[in-house]
Structure 1
Amino acid sequence: MIISQPERYDKLVVFDISTTPKPTIQSLTPIIDLMSSVDLKALGHKNNGNIGMVRNSLMKEWDKTVPNPTMRAFLLTNLGEKDGEIFWKVNLKAIKSCWNQITDFPAELSGRVFNQPVMFVAASDGKYLGIPKI
């Protein structure tokens, strides 16, 4: 993080990054568990290594667990295929084991200041950037 070594940088652009914890972020851990629970080898074999068929199968299977079809489709963009083998493009094991570090702002950096030009780029409603903490 730049804030840990501010002397090395002369400016900063932050794109849609929250400086405050969001309760909804913890709702993603069941999604990581769901993705990890899929037996891709068996599912790939059942669907002849066809990634499209695997995606369609999971779209239907996850209908109740992930009710939003856009979210399901987005999650399934993380599937990859090589030589008929289906795999997750993301390292789910690493994400799960490092989840707290990924989602939390390090307490030891709280209160530090970056005294150079900074531009924040966020959604128009700006509700995810904690303005008082910027």
Structure 2
Amino acid sequence: MLRGVRAWRLPYGGLEPSRTYFSRLPITPSSSGQSGAEPRPVPLSYKLLDGEAARPALVFLHGLFGCKTNFNSIAKALAQQTGRRVLTVDARNHGDSPHSPDMSYEAMSQDLQDLLPKLGLVPCVLIGHSMGGKTAMLLALQRPELVERLVAVDISPVETTSSLNFPAYMAAMRAIDIPDEVSRSCARKLADKQLSSLIQDMAVRQFLLTNLVEADGRFVWRVNLDALAQHVDKLLAFPPQQESYPGPTLFLLGGNSEFVHPSHHPEIRRLFPRAQMQTVPNAGHWIHADRPQDFMAAIRGFLT
């Protein structure tokens, strides 16, 4: 997800697949329905790269502050290298997908259960990072027939207790004050300066700033911070599950990350009995940004 990291901007010359399908949807309110009812799906924004329909497509799900463009370069490269269709998706309250007051893993799973069959992408290979990894795991547990195999990137099906302080990030972003009618470069500099008082890591700040967009002469956050802040406890947790997922599963871990602890392994094995674990050396939580070539090699190896 760290688009500001130099390693993320690797040139992939000549790797464009034959066709691209792109859906950009307006950000509109959406009701979550009655309490206790099944979550109402929202129409997600996505980008679909064309490929062979005979093999399961690769579906990428981003993390808490991310969006579908975080996987642009990797999606293009893997589409060319594997010949498969590759889908990148904006979760609700992220990117170009609609805003909704319901920000739960059950709701995000329901969104995908609605979208993937409509696109003819089931069963698929689900590849989810962080929040997207938990969404992918829940979908596989709820609807295993939709998921041919699963990749959870630096996340596990338990409560997240990492050194990254997501609530503090949200508070810092919500406190940003940028004057109207300033240039984009000026707005980013002002926002970065204000964020730096609470977030010392420049790479993290640059990643968060990918959410800063201009709307009607003002700079706003396209990620729905209100919904994320209201449901952050749910997003750090994982819904209790009894059934296991029988398909092949890869837990891809960053060697420098603390998101997945050995204490998580029993629950991983219980829910995903065919799980294998692979660690990418010299990578933090954002493996696909820190070590993109190693990340893609791990995906290709798992597919074969």
- Shorter-chain-normalised TM-score: which range? 0.7 to 0.9
Q: How many residues align?
A: 127
- Aligned pair 1:11/2:149, yes or no? yes
| 1:21 pairs with one of 159, 172, 177 | 159
Percent of residue pairs bearing the same amino acid type: 25
Work out which of the two has the higher radius of gyration on C-alpha atoms and give 1 or 2: 1
1 or 2, which has the higher helix percentage? Answer: 1
Return the letter of the residue paired with 1:119.
Answer: L
- Please tell me whether the aligned partners of residues 3 and 114 of structure 1 are also in contact (alpha carbons under 8 angstroms): yes
| Shift in CA distance, 24/117, structure 1 to aligned 2, threshold 3 Å | closer
Give the distance between the partners of 2:266 and 2:221, measured in 1 at CA: 38
- Aligned pair 1:70/2:208, yes or no? no
- Aligned pair 1:132/2:266, yes or no? yes
- Please tell me whether the aligned partners of residues 13 and 121 of structure 1 are also in contact (alpha carbons under 8 angstroms): yes
Give the distance between the partners of 2:175 and 2:258, measured in 1 at CA: 33
Q: Deviations over 1:83-134 (max 9, x none)?
A: 4221111011111122122111112x1x531122223333246753333222
- Please tell me whether the aligned partners of residues 188 and 209 of structure 2 are also in contact (alpha carbons under 8 angstroms): yes
| Shift in CA distance, 11/23, structure 1 to aligned 2, threshold 3 Å | closer
In structure 1, the residue matched to 2:214 is: 81
Q: For 1:76, what is the secondary structure of its paired residue?
A: helix
| Shift in CA distance, 55/76, structure 1 to aligned 2, threshold 3 Å | same
| Shift in CA distance, 73/10, structure 1 to aligned 2, threshold 3 Å | closer
* Larger CA deviation: 120-129 vs 11-20: 120-129
* Higher relative contact order, structure no. (Cα contacts within 8 Å, ≥ 6 residues apart): 1
RMSD: 2.5
| Shift in CA distance, 28/125, structure 1 to aligned 2, threshold 3 Å | closer
- Aligned pair 1:115/2:246, yes or no? yes
Give the distance between the partners of 2:258 and 2:203, measured in 1 at CA: 22
Superposed displacement of residue 82, structure 1: 3.6
| TM-score normalised by length of structure 1 | 0.75
